[in-house]
Amino acid sequence: MSAEAAVLIDCLTGHVLYSLNADRGMHPASTTKILTALLGLELGKKTDVVSISRYAAYTEGTSLYLNPGDRLYLLDLIRGALINSGNDAATAIAEYLGGNEELFSSLMTYKAKILGAYRSQFRNPHGLTDFKHIATAYDLALMTRYALKNKDLRQIVRTKDMIIHEIKTGEPIPLSNTNRLLYNRDIHVIGVKTGTTAAAGQCLIAAAEKKGRVLISVVLNSSDRYNDTLELFNYGFNQCLWYKVAKQQDPVLTVPVSDGQIARVKVGTKEDGEIAVNIGELNSIEKRYIINPNLRAPLAKGTNVGKIEVYLGDHLLYNCSLVTLETVKPKLPFYRRIFTNN
């Protein structure tokens, strides 16, 4: 591992599987743009038309080569910031939504803290070096885990190449993803964002999927960010333990139900539950079932009747709902039962 700071988490639970200086404040470079893009998608409308200011157009560093007065859809600017790492696009997003970089950066820091990223603070939307613009590997993983729940963002960060257009002239603007791991055939990488400055070194936030399992890695100030990331994914997928909580639609329990044509009902989960832990943590895992004790017919199939909680020591690691896997009809009235039996 060549990175100064790194972390690997299970996307489903947020559980940390590997940590190296993960709480150390670091320069995040263009990985900053994940939060910029997320706010763009949450606060704006994708079809909003944004005019490019002179200030945005001449932002230094990686660029889409936008010109003052250009007009682009907000969604296309978000694509340009994430796929091509355009600093001009990130600045335009900040100006449109926050009025200026300073106010938008305050929104970024506020959003980060809402997500639990308490050790990070932002001073710009693109990640150019500012010694008060700091994030930790763990905070970046935490923000990315939340960001990947946004379907638009998740689609953008996995896009290899595309073309967007300036609205007035229709001028094409080609985008090409800076994340080389998207082209790796050995592992299914689903994003997320590169970053490089002299102060930050090589940075990479990545997410990868294998057999429905998703891991998020962050490496900061690395001399070989791609191999560092692949090393983390290899560790997570192949050396960590994947603990099965439940299998979708398989009965987990049968629980009592009153006033029904059957005395007990099968319950299970709507989705597979499989979480990653380090092998040494297995003995500290406890699974608890919490069931509504007063179930009464009628009960439709799919009714929420409780939940499974998985604890690692005293820490709640994961929970999922338990639902009925069959319909429970109410008992027939006494006279109906006699008639039916005869």
Q: How confident is the model at residue 272 (pLDDT cuts 50, 70, 90)?
A: confident
* CA–CA separation, 237 and 215 (whole Å): 8
The neighbouring-strand residues paired with 209 are 188, 214
**CA neighbor of 13 nearest in space, from 323, 274, 290:** 274
Question: Is residue 158 left, alpha or beta, with left meaning phi > 0 and alpha meaning psi from -120 to 50?
Answer: alpha
Answer yes or no: are the C-beta atoms of 300 and 267 closer than 8 Å: no
* CA–CA separation, 258 and 256 (whole Å): 7
What is the reported pLDDT for 252?
87
Active site residues: 30, 33, 85
Residue 63 scores a pLDDT above 60 = yes
CATH superfamily entry for domain 5-239: DD-peptidase/beta-lactamase superfamily (3.40.710.10)
Mean pLDDT calculated for residue range 75-102: 97
Read off the DSSP letter of residue 181.
G
Answer yes or no: are the C-beta atoms of 80 and 70 closer than 8 Å: no
Q: How confident is the model at residue 285 (pLDDT cuts 50, 70, 90)?
A: very high
**CA neighbor of 90 nearest in space, from 119, 120, 117, 50:** 50
**CA neighbor of 206 nearest in space, from 237, 186, 228, 235:** 228
Mean pLDDT calculated for residue range 56-61: 96
Angle at 93 between CA 156 and CA 119, to 5 degrees: 80
Of the given ranges (49-53, 74-78, 93-97, 263-267), which has the lowest mean pLDDT? 263-267
pTM for this prediction: 0.91
The architecture CATH gives domain 244-324: Sandwich (2.60)
Domain boundaries, the chain: 5-239, 244-324
Task: Tell me the pLDDT tens digit for each residue of 136-174.
Answer: 999 999 999 999 999 999 999 999 999 999 999 999 999
* CA–CA separation, 19 and 9 (whole Å): 9
Task: Tell me the pLDDT tens digit for each residue of 222-242.
Answer: 999 999 999 999 999 999 999
In the chain, what is the straight-line distance between the N-terminal and C-terminal CA atoms, in Å?
77
Q: How confident is the model at residue 186 (pLDDT cuts 50, 70, 90)?
A: confident
Read off the DSSP letter of residue 258.
B
The neighbouring-strand residues paired with 237 are none
What is the reported pLDDT for 331?
85
Residue 126 scores a pLDDT above 90 = yes
* CA–CA separation, 244 and 329 (whole Å): 32
